[in-house]
Chains A and B, each alone.
Chain A
Amino acid sequence: MADKETKTGGKAEANAAKGMPGWMADLPLVQLPLALDFCSPQTEDFTRVSRFFDELRKGNLMTTKCKACGALNWPPRVVCPECQSDALEWVELPKTGKLWAFTEVRLGAPLGMEKDAPFSIGIVELDDVGLRLLARIDTPYNKLGFDLPMELVVARMPGERVIYRFKAKG
């Protein structure tokens, strides 16, 4: 226990109180080296699509759309991969969809997620936009099924970062 306290800088309880998943409490709040951290820096100092994360923090799922050719990009881009235009606009994506495929990670989870296992992963077909997103599914595997209605979850990551997930609706 003493070791754990030292490792986490005594912030385990504080993290838990913020509703962070269990494994996060065991991570030092000092960031992992960039090359071992699945979650990249999300601020405007590091990425030109920081707005995606700013909006996600507010509960909105956004991406870029090309004003020139109309292509919906995923993930958000700074240049349209289809026509090379850099005239992109931010558009909101639906927060709901249906589960298209799913499984559960039981063995072999990567660093930082090993204590989460088993956890569900799936592909959610968003309503109406012809886009499928792979994401963690915050619903137990045995409760999942094809075409199950899903809704967006905003999950907090260490260092004030966020990521989208989905869970069974309702």
Chain B
Amino acid sequence: MRGPGIAGHFVDNHLPRGVDLNIIGGIDMRKVAVVGGGLSHWGIRKANWRELVQEAGKAVLDDTQNLDKKDIDSLFVGAASPDRWAFQCHVAPLVADMLGVYPNRMMARTELACASGQAAVRYAWLAIASGFSEVALCLGVEKMNNPNMLESQTTMAAVLDREWDGIHGASAPPFFAMCAQHHMKHYGTTRRQMSLVAEKNHRFSTTNPFAHFQKPVPAEKVEASPMVAPPLTLFDCSGITDGAAAVILVSEERAKKMTDTPVWIKGSGQCSGGNNSANWKSLDTWYPMQVAAREAFRTSGITVDDIDLAEVHDCFTISEIIEYEDLGLCKKGEGGKFIEDGQSDIGGKVAVNTRGGLLGCGHPLGATGIGQIIEIYQQMQAKVPKARQVPDPQIGLTHNLSGAANVHSILVFGRDA
């Protein structure tokens, strides 16, 4: 247990510590752009870990204009647990083999459970912003379906503090079930409001040929599906999915030579509340997310009202509802009403999870964060199908939580640097 017990003032304890974190626009830090993105198909794939890597690698290299592959000097591989799902560690050099790249600045696998993909992009961003790297490839991948799904579920349960929480049979569904229980108790959030999140995101995923789930899921179907951990049913949960995604990040100087339509990283925030369950100050207010959001907006020079589209971590329906609130899109406790009123749909206050989210696309842990960034990138280039195109988006955001909402990671993107 950290801090002064249950009533600890988490947000106050994370005030900026006198250091100007305004990285973008700060001294000697370079602007960084996304100039390419590509995905494998996501789903229960008849393909192994390596083949997913090659599919996404080809997709990103085909997509990126005016790139000499030899210029890729850094490689970050977002992967939560290839050690267990593919019985393979030391994966970054293996990915380099398969994609024919020869990084000579920075390379590593980045692991932050469900946020492993965003972690790769955060490292690449800072490597380029610092001047150490010019061109970085970030590839996220997870192969989660294997012949023994019990083994797969066991790997996921090890994301929690395994010796003290996992040992009780805790994993993601029971944790988020208790979050939903508290949100319903404290704010009157309804079963139907949670179902509407799944309905919206599955409607969007029907427009996304790369998504795991291709059929509409009406609210009634969510409610009629088998109970996983009450009050959460099967369709309240994101899928166990195989998939990969990749982006290319470059410096400003390089971006201007490559494309007229780069998408810029404007800023970021990240905050941890520890891992063990004793650190959970609240189940239905995610204080680390409030801190991460505040820092993301501050370093980007924006306010929450500037956001046109957001890819938030809807690992469960209740997650998206809590995230509306702790991001500041609506008041605390009004997340259920926010979805009910269509405020998170295209035409509402902010379009949320237009690619279909984790609920519609599935959640290959390492690939998710990069898949979300590709949606922002493609939306800003007007490359997505019309059915989910947000009109002329200027500012977009991606959010990942990891573990039992222990860590929140946010990146802000813009058409203008």
Q: When the two chains form the complex, which single residue of B162, B170, B228 contacts A121, counting CB atoms closer than 8 Å?
A: B170
Contacts of A110 in B (CB 8 A): 150, 153-154, 156-157, 166, 169, 171
A116 to B169, CA, bound (A): 10
Contact with B along A131-170 (1 / 0, CB 8 A): 1111110000100001000000000000000010100000
A39 at the interface (CB under 8 A from B): yes
B342 at the interface (CB under 8 A from A): no
Known: A103-B177, A107-B228. A130 touches B169 (CB 8 A): no
Contacts of A121 in B (CB 8 A): 168-170, 174, 229
Contact: A105 with B174, CB < 8 Å?
Answer: yes
Residue of A nearest to B231 (CB): A103
Contact segment of B1-9, B325-333, B394-402: B1-9
Residue of B nearest to A101 (CB): B178
Q: How far is the CB of A110 from chain B (nearest CB, A)?
A: 4
Contact segment of A8-16, A54-62, A74-82, A84-92: A74-82
Contacts of B173 in A (CB 8 A): 105, 107-108
A73 to B177, CA, bound (A): 27
A106-B226, A123-B280 are known; give 17 further A-B pairs, CB within 8 A.
A38-B157, A40-B163, A71-B1, A75-B161, A75-B278, A103-B181, A108-B171, A108-B173, A109-B153, A110-B157, A110-B169, A117-B169, A121-B169, A122-B178, A123-B277, A132-B6, A133-B278
B132 at the interface (CB under 8 A from A): no
Interface size on A, residues (CB 8 A): 43
Contact: A36 with B154, CB < 8 Å?
Answer: yes
Contact: A141 with B169, CB < 8 Å?
Answer: no
Known: A110-B154, A133-B278. A38 touches B167 (CB 8 A): yes
B165 at the interface (CB under 8 A from A): yes
Contact: A134 with B150, CB < 8 Å?
Answer: no
Contacts of A104 in B (CB 8 A): 174, 229-230
A30 at the interface (CB under 8 A from B): no
A44 at the interface (CB under 8 A from B): no
A111 at the interface (CB under 8 A from B): yes
Contact with B along A47-72 (1 / 0, CB 8 A): 00000000000000000000000011
Find residues 11-41 in chain A having any chain B CB closer than 8 Å to their own CB.
Answer: 35-36, 38-40
A116 to B389, CA, bound (A): 46
Band of interface residues on B: 35 or more
Contact: B153 with A134, CB < 8 Å?
Answer: no
Q: How far is the CB of B194 from chain A (nearest CB, A)?
A: 14
A109 to B276, CA, bound (A): 19
Contact: A82 with B2, CB < 8 Å?
Answer: yes
- 10 cross-chain pairs, A with B, having the tightest CB-CB distances, nearest first: A130-B5, A134-B277, A103-B177, A101-B178, A74-B1, A110-B154, A111-B154, A110-B157, A74-B278, A38-B167
Known: A108-B171, A110-B157. A131 touches B278 (CB 8 A): yes
Contact: B157 with A106, CB < 8 Å?
Answer: no
Residue of B nearest to A130 (CB): B5
B187 at the interface (CB under 8 A from A): no
A10 to B174, CA, bound (A): 34
Contact: B277 with A133, CB < 8 Å?
Answer: yes
Contacts of A130 in B (CB 8 A): 5-7
Contacts of B226 in A (CB 8 A): 106-107
A134 to B151, CA, bound (A): 23
Contact: A111 with B276, CB < 8 Å?
Answer: no
Contact: A72 with B1, CB < 8 Å?
Answer: yes
Contacts of B166 in A (CB 8 A): 38, 110
Max count, chain A CB within 10 A of own CB: residue among B1, B150, B154, B162 = B1
Contact: A102 with B168, CB < 8 Å?
Answer: no
Contact: A81 with B228, CB < 8 Å?
Answer: no
